[in-house]
Amino acid sequence: MKLLKQVIEDQGVVLSDGVLKVDAFLNHGIDPELMSEIGREFAARFEEAGITKILTIESSGIAPSLMTALELKCPLVFARKQKSLTMQDNLYSADVYSFTKEKYQTISVSKDKLTKTDNVLIIDDFLANGQAALGLASIVQDAGASIAGVGIVIEKSFQPGRTLLTGAGLRVESLARIASLSENKVTFVKNEEA
């Protein structure tokens, strides 16, 4: 997605060989016009897929997911990172390992938010190690629903996430694919569609 790549080049900050800071428009500040374009792009890529629901994870997955849900005219659910003790029996949960935080985190969705007849599009802001997306996928499977695919705003293609997800049979659509963050600059994957 041409506009997204442009914004990453203009406003993204390479913090290290592995980490891109995008607080200007995605992870802290949010650019509404960019999010709207992102929603249109995901919707175009999945418009034939028969999506009935979007599933993401708080907090940074919510903005791009909301704009996509608006385009696809379907509801949005976000997994919570803090489990409500009073709702334990009514939750689908998954333990997600964070390589950056070096710990497991339990993510949860109320059982009444997903049904067997749902065809779910999973969306997240970053794809790094793929653990968040796999956790969301396992929640959809627990609900007996179908997974139409995974939509990612920024994929770090030099990390194992995409391979893990496609290896699990999931369709992955990333709007910007980063081949490298070394030498303090963003290098996108070549030959991808704009």
Residue ranges for the binding site for xanthine?
20, 27, 156
In contact, 119 and 51? CB cutoff 8 Å: yes
Nearer to Na ion, 91 or 127 (CB): 127
Would residue 65 be called left, alpha or beta, if left means φ above 0 and alpha means ψ between -120 and 50 degrees? Answer: alpha
Residue numbers in the known binding site for 5-phospho-alpha-D-ribose 1-diphosphate are 128-132
Residue 155 makes contact with Na ion by CB under 5 A: no
User: Please, what sign has the CA dihedral across residues 27, 160, 94, 102?
Assistant: negative
CB of 191 to Na ion, least distance (A): 27
Which residues is 146 bridged to in the sheet? 119
For residue 74, what are the contacts with CB-CB under 8 A and spacing of at least 6?
51, 52, 53, 54
Out of Na ion, ligand G4P, none, what residue 161 binds, judged by CB under 5 to 8 A for its kind, is ligand G4P
Report the run of H or E that residue 6 belongs to, with start and end.
Answer: helix 2-11
Residues forming contacts to ligand G4P in the complex (CB under 6 A) are 19-22, 27, 59-61, 98-100, 125-132, 156, 161
- State which of positions 50-79 bind Na ion (CB under 5 A): 60
Spell out, one character per residue from 98 to 127, where the chain touches Na ion: x when CB under 5 A holds, - when not: --------------------------xx--
Residue keyed to tokens 């290896």: 167
Residue 47 or 95 having the CB closest to ligand G4P: 95
Least Å distance, CB 19 to ligand G4P, is: 4
